[in-house]
Structure 1
Amino acid sequence: MSFARAPLLGALSVMMIAFSLFSFGLFGLVALNFKQQFGAVEERIEIEAFVDDSTNVETLADAVSEIARFPEVARALPVTKDEALERARRDMGEFKDVFDASFLPASIKVQVREGFRDPATVQRVADRIATYAFVDDVRYGAEFVEQLYDIRNVATGTGIVLGIAFAAVAIIIIAATIRITVLARAREISIMRLVGATNGFVRRPFLLEGVATGILGGLLALLLLWLSFAVIGRYIPLVFLERPMAIGGIAFGGLIGFLGSALSVGRHLKRV
C-alpha cells in the first residue's frame, strides 16, 4: 500500500531497516570472525612468574600445583633454568651463544582459562601469583592484553550504536509512511467503520505492511552482508553467520517494522 502511495518513503523504510540490520550483522560477523581468527592470539595470553634462584624444587612444585588449581588457570608449568636457556637459544637463532644458564631465571608459566582472559582478570591472577615470597617478577604483556580487548570493545560498541541509530530512524520513517497511508485512505477507513469494522480489523493491514517492510529490510541486509562477506573473503578467510543468526536478523527486521507501524497507526486512526 505505502509503496503505491508513497514509494519514496516506503523505499526509505526498507533501506533504513536494512542499514540497521546490516550494522548489527556486520558486528556479528566481526565478533564471530574475531573469535575464529584471533582465538590463537588470545591463547597466547599467559602469565610468567620469574622465581628466585634459591628456590628449592619442592617449594616450586608445590606452588605450581597450587596455582594450577586457581579457577582462572587452565594449566601451570614450571620452567627450569636449563629449559629457559634452551627456549631462548631457539628463539634467538644466530645469537643463541649470547645466553648461558646463569643469565636466565627459572619461572612458572601460567596459561589463563578461556573466559578469564580479560585485562582485569589476568592482572588479578598475576597479582595473586606475585604474593609468593620466592617470586621476583611477574609479566603477562599487560599492554598486549589491553589492546586486544580494546579492539573487541570498539568493534562491539560501534556495531551496537550504529544499529540502534539506524533502527530508530527506520521506525520514524515507517511511522511517517503509515501516517501518509492512513490519511490517504481516510474515506475508505470511514466507510469500513460505518459497516462495523473494529479498530483492530482496520489496524491489521497496516501492521502487516510494517512487518512486510521490516522483513524486506532484513532480506536486503542479509544480501548486503553476503556481498561484503564475498568481497572481503577473497583476501581474508572468513566464516559467515550461522543460519539461526541470519533468520533472527530477518525476524528482528519484521519486529522493527511492526513497532514503527504500531506507534503510528493507533495515533492517526483516531484522527480519521
Structure 2
Amino acid sequence: MRLTFLLGEVGNGIRRNASMIISVVLVSMVSLFFLGAGLLAQREVSTAKGFWYDKVQVSIFFCTSQSTDVQSCADGAATQAQQDQVKSQLDSMKPLVEHVYYETSQQAYDRFKSQFRGSPYLSDVSPAAMPSSYRVKLSDPSKYNEVVASFEGQQGVEAVSDQSNVLSTFFKLLHVISVGAVALAVVMVICAILLITTTIRQVAYTRRRQVSIMRLVGASATVIYLPFVIEILLATVVGAALAVGLLWALVHYGVEGLFHSSGSSTGDLVSMIGTADVWDFAPWLFAGAVVIALATAWITLRRYLRV
C-alpha cells in the first residue's frame, strides 16, 4: 500500500470523525495526566522521605524544676551527673549515634523567643521553664526507636521525642493522594478504552461501503485495519503529549514556582520533585498510550470489522 494513499485515508478519516477523535484525545489526556500525577506523587513521597529522614533527630529533654509531675522528674531538675550519664550512654551507642548536640535552657529559650516572637504568652515563659536537651543525629534514622527506648523513663529525663511521628503522618497523606490519583487514572484509562472501542465501531460503520470495496479488490486485513489504527494511535499520542505538557506546567509553575522561587528559602527546607522527574516519566506515558491504542484498536477491529 502506497504511503500517500494511507496518509490520505487517515486524513479523510480524521476529518469525517473529528468530534470522536477529539474525544479520544481529551480522554487520553485526562487519564494519562492523572496517571502521571500519581507517579509523580509516589516519587515525591520517596524524595521527601530520603530528604527528611536524613534530618530526623531524637531529642532527649531533661527535667526542670517545674516538671515534678513526671515520675522520672520526681527529684526536680536533672542533676549534672544524670546529664553526664545520658551523654555517656549516647557515646556508647556509636556508630548509630552520629552527632550529639547539647542545647542549654538559655539557648532553648532564645530559640523559643525567635520562633514565637509574636505570641502574647511569651512573657509567661522563663528560661528556667525551658528544658536543656541533647539533640541526637543518627547515622540510620530508621533505627530511632533504639535510642528512644534506651532513655524513656530514665531518671532526670523528662521526655524523649523524635520527628518521625510528625513525618509519618505527612508521608501517609502523600501516599493517600498518590494512590487516589493512580486509582482515578485507572478509571480514566478504562473510560479511554471504552471510548476508543466506541469510536472505532462508529468509524467502521461510516466506512462500511469503502471497506466492502476494499474487500472485493482483495485488500488484506492489515491494509484495511491500518488507517483505523493510525487514527486512534495519533489521537492517543496527542493526548499523551498534552498530558505531559500539563504535568510539566503543574510542576514548573506550581511546585517549582512555589518552593524554588527566587529569593525564597522554602526550597532549601524541603526536597521536591522537579521538571526533570516529568521527563523521566514522559516516555512511559507515551509508551502506555501506544500500547492502549494499538491493543484496543486491533482487538476491536478484529471483533467488529470482519475481513
TM-score, reference length from structure 1? 0.72
Shift of 1:30: 5.2
User: Do structure 1's residue 98 and structure 2's residue 126 form an aligned pair?
Assistant: yes
Pick from 86, 89, 97 the counterpart of residue 109 of structure 2.
89
Pick from 253, 257, 268 the counterpart of residue 289 of structure 2.
253
Contact residue 214 and residue 255 of structure 1 kept, 8 A: no
User: RMSD of the alignment, in Å?
Assistant: 3.8
In 2, distance between residues paired with 1:162 and 1:67?
47
Contact residue 58 and residue 147 of structure 2 kept, 8 A: no
Shift of 1:228: 4.1
Shift of 1:95: 6.6
In 2, distance between residues paired with 1:233 and 1:130?
35
User: Cα gap change, 1:130/1:146 in structure 2, threshold over 3 Å: closer, same or farther?
Assistant: closer
In 2, distance between residues paired with 1:163 and 1:184?
31
Shift of 1:209: 2.3
Contact residue 17 and residue 256 of structure 1 kept, 8 A: no
User: Do structure 1's residue 16 and structure 2's residue 27 form an aligned pair?
Assistant: yes
Q: In terms of mean alpha carbon deviation, does 15-24 or 41-50 score higher?
A: 41-50
User: Do structure 1's residue 240 and structure 2's residue 275 form an aligned pair?
Assistant: yes
Shift of 1:11: 0.9
Match of 2:104, SS?
Answer: helix
In 1, distance between residues paired with 2:281 and 2:130?
54
Contact residue 207 and residue 261 of structure 1 kept, 8 A: yes
Match of 1:215 in 2: 237
Where does the alignment leave 5 or more consecutive residues of structure 1 unmatched?
70-74
In 1, distance between residues paired with 2:137 and 2:48?
23
Pick from 82, 93, 99 the counterpart of residue 66 of structure 1.
93
Shift of 1:20: 1.1
User: Cα gap change, 1:190/1:61 in structure 2, threshold over 3 Å: closer, same or farther?
Assistant: farther
Contact residue 210 and residue 260 of structure 1 kept, 8 A: no
Letter in 2 for 1:240: T
Where does the alignment leave 5 or more consecutive residues of structure 2 unmatched?
1-9, 63-77, 114-121, 261-273
Shift of 1:214: 0.9
Shift of 1:28: 4.8
Match of 2:267 in 1: none
Q: In terms of mean alpha carbon deviation, does 11-20 or 179-188 score higher?
A: 179-188
Shift of 1:230: 6.0
Match of 2:145 in 1: 127
CA deviation string 1:126-151 (max 9, x = no partner): 43324426744421246522331133
Letter in 2 for 1:99: P
Pick from 299, 303, 306 the counterpart of residue 263 of structure 1.
299
User: Cα gap change, 1:49/1:188 in structure 2, threshold over 3 Å: closer, same or farther?
Assistant: same
Q: In terms of mean alpha carbon deviation, does 130-139 or 34-43 score higher?
A: 34-43
Contact residue 106 and residue 127 of structure 2 kept, 8 A: no
Match of 1:236, SS?
Answer: helix
Match of 1:72 in 2: none
In 1, distance between residues paired with 2:61 and 2:28?
55
User: Cα gap change, 1:37/1:128 in structure 2, threshold over 3 Å: closer, same or farther?
Assistant: closer
Shift of 1:164: 1.5
Pick from 150, 171, 195 the counterpart of residue 149 of structure 1.
171
Contact residue 89 and residue 95 of structure 1 kept, 8 A: no
Query: How many residue pairs are counted as aligned between the two chains?
Result: 254
Shift of 1:182: 1.9
User: Do structure 1's residue 185 and structure 2's residue 172 form an aligned pair?
Assistant: no
Match of 1:110 in 2: 137
Match of 2:221 in 1: 199
Shift of 1:108: 5.2
Q: In terms of mean alpha carbon deviation, does 13-22 or 154-163 score higher?
A: 154-163
In 2, distance between residues paired with 1:36 and 1:176?
41
Match of 1:161 in 2: 183
In 2, distance between residues paired with 1:247 and 1:175?
24
User: Cα gap change, 1:38/1:232 in structure 2, threshold over 3 Å: closer, same or farther?
Assistant: farther
Which protein shows a greater Rg?
Answer: 2
Shift of 1:64: 3.9
